[in-house]
Amino acid sequence: MGNDAIDDVITALRNASLRGAETVRVSSTDITISIGRVLVEEGFLGNLREHRQGTNRFLVLTLKYQGRTRKARITTCRRVSKPGLRIYSGYKDIPEVLGGIGTAILSTPGGIMTDREARQKRIGGEVLCYVW
Amino acid sequence: MGNDAIDDVITALRNASLRGAETVRVSSTDITISIGRVLVEEGFLGNLREHRQGTNRFLVLTLKYQGRTRKARITTCRRVSKPGLRIYSGYKDIPEVLGGIGTAILSTPGGIMTDREARQKRIGGEVLCYVW
């Protein structure tokens, strides 16, 4: 399930957003690409692109900042399910993050998706992380 | 201070975002234009435009929805200072909304601005509303 890759992207985004970095580079795997795509669709990230340098592949994620004070669109990210303690949720019990303000990202049989999409499609899965 | 205009825009945005409306029409006044501009800058609204029909002027605000489930960018708006109970704040006491996730909009001697901008500029003012 590529857990180090998930930690990689969550920690990188949290730190980049605290620092005010324009972009952040993470390892390119199926799971980081899927998480990145969901974050772009949800408006948390500007875009993602894949770079190849010889045999190395990596992802470049562009962060979003808004307003005259350049507020980071991602306030923080938090890992939920961990290699030592997996958190799964049936679709009826999928958590709302901060009463719907934040977003949970789940790994489901239908792919990586948000809590809202999983609830709509009535599929549960592993709760990877919270973003708000 | 045009309080009915502030109620107008806050209520209109809250309802439009719950309904999933693409745009919402509010009265066009200095204060609603200023609030609308701050919300566009902060990424809560797509844009605002002013319409004139004969002698009537009104504002059209475009809402933002993101992701495959079209999550509203504005979860809700809440009025703070009211005609019967004014809430003012010195710059050192400007409230953080939901630990920085949300935004407070203030009317200050330097114009309408967010809590973060007012804190940065070290000016207080009337706390008009919270948006998140």
What value does the mean pLDDT of chain A take?
93
Mean pLDDT of B41-52: 95
Given a cut of 60, is residue B94 above it in pLDDT?
Answer: yes
Contacts of A47 in chain B (CB under 8 A): none
Q: Which fold has domain B3-131?
A: Dna Ligase; domain 1 (3.30.1490)
- Which chain B residue has the Cα nearest residue A75? B101
Confidence band for B1, pLDDT divided at 50, 70 and 90? very low
pLDDT digits (tens, 9 = 90+) for A21-64: 999 999 999 999 999 999 999 999 999 999 998 888 999 999 99
Confidence band for B4, pLDDT divided at 50, 70 and 90? confident
Element (H, E) at A104: strand A103-108
Contacts of B43 in chain A (CB under 8 A): 43, 64, 66-67, 73
Subunit contact A43:B101, Cβ cutoff 8 A: no
Residues in B whose CB is inside 8 Å of some CB of A read: 38, 41-43, 64, 66-69, 71, 73, 75, 98-103, 113-114, 116-117, 120, 132
ipTM tops 0.90: no
Mean pLDDT of B69-92: 93
Cα of B63 to nearest chain A Cα, Å: 13
